[in-house]
Amino acid sequence: MNDNLHEVAITAIIIKENKYLIIRRSPTKKRFPGMWTVPGGKLETTDYLNLPKDTKDYWYNVLEKTLAREVKEEVGIEIKNVEYLTSLATVHPDGAPSLVISCTAEYQAGEIQLQAEEVDEFAWVTLTEAQSYNLIDGILDELVMAEQKLHGLKSEWKRH
């Protein structure tokens, strides 16, 4: 395995009227089936290779565009004002290393339309309500960070 190759994913804690969008992963998903999380997905080279470069050598806002695409595919809505929240790394049981960039974003438009092979349920929840869902480990802590950010506080990820 090339030590420099990682699967890169980006997720969004989407905020609408002081509630957060959470989704339940389809029971057929290989990783975390039937668990609750936030929308997002993997960066694909087609997210930028087929676009004109923004400078002579580079594509910009690739992660933001990937996140907008993934959210639109998974839940059918548009987002705006994507901001970095935290990041995490893992090596999955199949040996694949992943880097996940977690962001906050504001709901912009659209009605929820779930991508059935990816997601089978959704909920708009407060931080308190989120605690009663079977969330993937670490997601609740990210929601706490997002809540703090809503109140003008900056924080680093920690177990809450």
Domain membership flag for residue 61: yes
The burial of 112, by beta-carbon neighbours within 10 Å (0-12 exposed, 13-18 middle, 19 or more buried), is given as middle
CB 78 within 8 A of CB 67: no
Domain membership flag for residue 48: yes
The CA distance from 19 to 89, in Å, is 27
The model carries a pTM of 0.91
Domain membership flag for residue 160: no
| CATH code for position 132 | 3.90.79.10
Domain membership flag for residue 90: yes
Number of domains in the chain: 1
Domain membership flag for residue 1: no
Enumerate the H helices of 2-94 as residue ranges: 62-75
pLDDT digits (tens, 9 = 90+) for 4-59: 678 899 999 999 999 999 999 998 888 889 999 999 999 888 888 888 999 999 99
Indicate the helix (H) or strand (E) that contains 97.
strand 97-109
The CA distance from 44 to 21, in Å, is 24
Domain membership flag for residue 72: yes
Domain membership flag for residue 156: no
Domain membership flag for residue 157: no
pLDDT digits (tens, 9 = 90+) for 49-101: 888 999 999 999 999 999 999 999 999 999 999 999 999 999 888 888 899 99
Per the structure, the complete domain to which residue 72 belongs is given by 7-150
